[in-house]
Amino acid sequence: MAEDGEKFFAGLPVRVDPEAIERELSRLWKSRFSGAGGIGSVSRVCLSNVIFCLPNRGAWETAQANLPAIVRRYPSRIIVLSRPSERAESEEAAASISALCSVPEPGGVPVCCEEIMLEAPPRDLESLVTPLLVPDVPIAIVALFPGCEELIAPFLRIAERLIVDTRRDAGETLQFLSSFLERRSLSVRDLAWEATLPWRRVLADLFDEPEVAAIGRSLRRLEILYLRELDQESRAQGGTCRSGLVTAALLGGWLVSRLGLKLRAGGGDPRAQEEAAQADVDVILGPDAPGECPAQVSRARLLADEGDLSIRWDGSSFAVRFETKTACVLPRMFPVRPEDESALLGRALERSPPRRIFAEAARTALVLLGRASAAETRAWSPERD
């Protein structure tokens, strides 16, 4: 028994009966302070319930690398869901529990929360997870990998937040996400969208300048290049390699929707050709060379009647250059603090930005990815905040 307590607070998994998880958690927390084994104060903190979906081995490795940093920023009860492994002798549910602890400042009291790992067939997850949800705090679902739809389906109706990463496919997850954008009760977050934040900040600052604002008003062509992350090890373990394609589409969608422009829509449909003749801007998305940086937009160029704006990102700063009909402005550098996946996920858990801005960007991005028509986008009207 004492050995279980030592393992638990050291962050090592303790195998338990899936039907007795709460009882075992209570026993282990009490053992922290009882008898000779009591080893000082800790704070047990739970700001939310986070249901974390891990459909394969590559997803498991990614989660284990990021969870400690996430709970340092946003301590929560983490409930990790996965299917029984292929090596399991049966499909019966299995569970383990461990503590995730961090020290906020030198000499401070450790802050701890729980990680509950459940391996079970999807049909059993609702009955196992529902009793584990801490009352009176929000419920967030984190589904960063394709293949989570069946695992998270029972909890979508009770969750307040759904967080995905659309960088791991060519728009299928973003299309799945679009069906939830009109639900006022569910806040939808996307790490691909979070990754565009430095770009959006730089562009917003630049458009405060009259010369750049004139380029925006007369924009005719937008070119965005993106990186594809080198992630061979993750792919070998069943994960997926991330691409900046959807990030580029979301950035283009944000810029087009914020400027109030219409996209050109090609194709043989007469209606599409008529739309193209009336549209304002062409948007071109293209791959840049693969890089070690996380999947991200690498370059953007805005071509307009009033001038030309070019922006390049090198992982730590933006290089900006623009020309107008009357002047060539000297290049400028904007430093950027790089963010890893745990930082993006921590921000997605903490904050709820205006849903309309993301919804409009996402709908326009689906058009750029060929997964919706411009007419469908204009017909859709998201709920106001």
Question: For 110-133, how does the pLDDT look when each residue is reduced to its tens digit (9 = 90+)?
Answer: 899 999 999 999 999 999 999 999
Task: Give the distance between the most distant pair of CA atoms in the chain.
Answer: 81
Question: Residue 364's closest CA among 245, 272, 283?
Answer: 283
Cα dihedral 84, 87, 89, 93, rounded to 10, equals -20
Q: What pLDDT, on a 0 to 100 scale, did the predictor assign at position 34?
A: 61
Angstrom CA distances, 68 to 5, 39, 114, 272, stand at: 19, 22, 11, 49
Residue 271 has pLDDT above 60, yes or no: no
d(CA 150, CA 87): 21
Q: What pLDDT, on a 0 to 100 scale, did the predictor assign at position 310?
A: 95
E-strand ranges in the chain read: 14-16, 43-44, 49-53, 77-82, 94-102, 111-119, 139-143, 161-164, 187-190, 219-226, 282-287, 297-304, 307-313, 317-324, 328-335
- All structural domains of the chain, each given as residue ranges with its CATH number in brackets, are 2-159 (no CATH), 195-379 (3.30.360)
What digits encode the pLDDT tens for the residues 145-184? 888 989 999 999 999 999 999 988 888 999 988 888 877 7
Q: What pLDDT, on a 0 to 100 scale, did the predictor assign at position 189?
A: 93
Q: What pLDDT, on a 0 to 100 scale, did the predictor assign at position 272?
A: 45
Residue 255 has pLDDT above 70, yes or no: yes
Residue 230: pLDDT band (50, 70, 90) is low
Cα dihedral 370, 375, 377, 382, rounded to 10, equals -160
Q: What pLDDT, on a 0 to 100 scale, did the predictor assign at position 233?
A: 47
Q: What pLDDT, on a 0 to 100 scale, did the predictor assign at position 266?
A: 42
How far from chain centre, in Å, is Cα 42?
31
